Structure formats: structure tokens, C-alpha cells
Amino acid sequence: MIVKTDEEQALIAAAKRVLPGGTFGNFGADIVIREGRGGHVTDVSGNEYIDYLLGSGPMFIGHGHPAVTEAVLAQVPKGTTFFTNNEHGIRLAEKIADAVPCAEQVRFVSTGTEADLYAMRLARAYRKRPKIVKFEGGYHGMSDWGLMSLAPRRLANFPEAVPDSPGIPDAVRAEVLVAPFNDIEAAVRLIEARAEEIGGVILEPFQRLIPPAPGFLQAIRDVTARLGIPLIFDEVVTGFRFAYGGAQALYGVTPDICTLGKIIGGGFPLAAVAGKAEIMKHFDRAAVDEDGFLTQIGTLSGNPVAAVAGLATLEVLRAPGTYDAVFATGRSLMDGLSKLIAEAGIPAQILGEPVLFDVVYAEGQLRDYRALLRQDAAMQKHVNGVLRQEGILKGDSKYYLSTAHTAADIARTLEAFRAALASLPSSRKVA
């Protein structure tokens, strides 16, 4: 059972005084983490958790990996940022270009939000058209363009976009067209009908927790290629997680542009836009006319500390058998959770891939955002709360697996999940 010390309680109180909502905007205010080791984190009170949050995904090879720590400690005395090119950033761009199918050239930024924003701007610059097609429920960062129909409070008729935040101008809303994920017919029909207005199409190849339906990604690739519209895969989450070449390698569909983040920085702020040289040249003033040049400047873009952390992380992931092992770990947890759900008679299912999934408290096919709205949110909140008290740290709707998680971690997680299900009122169970 988790117990909070006076020290952590005082920090929580201080956070509520000086931070809006008492948080950095990412996670609840009721926990303050002090350190992470491998697949575990420890809070200020000394409570240790099995960590399936992983910093929202970057720590794919675990916290404090010796290879990453050694690389960072070697670089810090030599300088932490220069604004100019640095050797490590160049080497990391080479590794990305070698690994990711669509990546002929790379432009670094510091966050996934920046990467998605620039990818959409790049597509519009190349295509010379104003509108972006995105898919309802897809997350593409915190920009005005990204925050359209991520989690709309009202369901609109497609292709109407619904802003997810106040402060977004109506003019932006008018330039975003929204399609249903995994609906080939509707998406293709929209793209064909509005082709002359569309600058680019952006999607998560694996949307939050929802895998692509058979043929869906290829159908979007085919129609955009036929019409000359740049296709963007948002791989900030899936890049180097689903395979060394990302989701585009796993699913066998290559976009024109992709965005990367999280894993490529090894726990430091680093993200990237990558794509075909013909499109990426719009970042090069010498390669295009003045009207085609896309200005992009970032003080910390490609900084050497993040770059060496990323290089060390990718080197670990390149080791033979790494992905087989982490996928096997994830499958063992998925299988164990599924068995416990069946034994308890809970209306729930596992949704996702072995390295990124969750329990969704709903029955029936879950192929898009609107289907996920059937989930029993109260049941999810209850189970997650019990898991936290049992020493399992996860986000509201994701288990992130790492190469550092062990068979013992899986066994302990299943014990905690069994306890969480047992604590549910009998009215929540299926007879």
C-alpha cells in the first residue's frame, strides 16, 4: 500500500501554490517521482512502482540505462548546446535515415508538437494547398492545427473539425478536414473530393491504442500517391518502438514524411521531421525559390546531449533479439490480463500492440474514436486507482512496455490487476 511522507505532501502542496493545477500539465498532482531505475520508479516518499508510464514513452530501454548515462556524462563537460551543427546530431540523422523507410533527410526540433506542426507546414509548402486532412481521435501535438478533433466534446459530421481547446482561431478550424479512422471508403472519398484544396494528410499509423484495419494504411497511401498529396505518418510514439524502422516498417506502408520523437532523444528533448529529399528541400533556402523556403529555427534543435542519448539508445535497440524480447514481454502481460478479465467476467478487452496497449472496458469491435466512447470510464478509473495503490504506475489509458521490464514485473502486475478486478462491485461484472 502506498503511503505519502510529510516531505512529499509538502512538495505536492508547494506545487499547487506555484503551478496551475499543481502539475506540469502532464500527469496528476498526487505523485512526485524522485528517481527511476530500469523499469521502476520511486517517489519522494520511497514508494517503488513498476513503471508503465515511462515518461510517456521515451524510456523504452528503461531509466538510467548504463549506455545512455555513460554517453551523456561524457558529453556534458564538452558542451550542452552550440546552435551550430554538431557531430552527434549529424550521426543521429544518419542512423535515422538508415533505419526509417521514408527518411532520406532529417530536420531536428525539440518536441513532438514542433515536429507535427512543421510536418504539416512542410506538406502545405510542397503541395501549395492550404488544408490538412486528419483523423478523428488522432493526436498531433499541442499546436492549433494539432488540436482539432482529438477528443471532441461534441460529435460533428465529417469532415467538420472541432477545436479541442479555447483560443484556437476559427480560421484554423476551417483549414482542417476530419475523417473517421479505419474507414477506407469515407477517407478515400473525402481525399478525392477535396484533393485540389489538400496540402497534406496526417495520421498516426497506430492511433493512440487502435491498430490500423487490414488495408487501411495502404488505401490512404494509394489515394494520396495517385493525387500527389504528401502523406505524413505521425510516429512520435511508434518510431523505433514498433520496429527499428517504426510502424511504417512493421505495417509495410511508407509515407512521404514522418515525425519522430520520444525514443530518438533517449529521455532528452529531441524530435524530428524526416522524409523524402524532394519534399525536405523546402527547409533549404538554396534548393527552392524564396516563396518555397520554409524557415525553421530551434535554439536546442539537435543539441549534442540529446543526440548522444539518442545514439546510445538506438545502439541498444539494434542488438539482435531486442525487439523479439520486448514484444514477448508485452504479449505475456497482454495474455495474462486477458485471462484475468475472462475469469472475472468483466466486459473488457485488450487493445493495442505488445509494446503499447491497455485494457478497454467495453465490448464489441473498437476500430475508431467513437467506438472507444463506449468504454466504462468509471471502471477504468477505479482499476487504475487500485493499480497505483498496488505499486503499478501507468497512464490513464496506456501500458508502455520497455526492454527493462522483467518476468517478475509482469507477475507482480498481474497480481495487482487481479486485486483491482476483485475490488470491483459485483454489479460491474457480467453474469
Residues serving a catalytic function are 139, 234, 262
Residues 6+ apart with CB under 8 A from 54: 60, 400, 402
Could you tell me the strand order of the sheet in which 349-353 lies? 349-353, 356-360, 399-400
Identify which of 265, 181, 253 has the alpha carbon closest to the alpha carbon of residue 224. Answer: 253
Residue 153 burial by Cβ neighbours in a 10 Å radius (0-12, 13-18, 19+): exposed
Cell reading at 108: 531536428
Q: How many CB atoms lie within 10 A of CB 420?
A: 23
Cell reading at 422: 476483485
Cell reading at 166: 479555447
Cα 302 to Cα 80: distance, rounded to the nearest angstrom? 11
Q: Let me know: does 371 contact 364? Beta carbons within 8 Å.
A: yes
Return the residue matching grid coordinates 533517449.
266
Alpha helices in 228-361 (DSSP H): 247-251, 277-280, 304-317, 322-344
Cα 177 to Cα 161: distance, rounded to the nearest angstrom? 6
Return the residue matching grid coordinates 482561431.
169
Cell reading at 385: 486507482
DSSP string over 54-82: GGGTT-TT-BT-HHHHHHHHHHGGG-S--
Q: Under DSSP, is residue 229 helix (H, G, I), strand (E, B) or coil?
A: coil
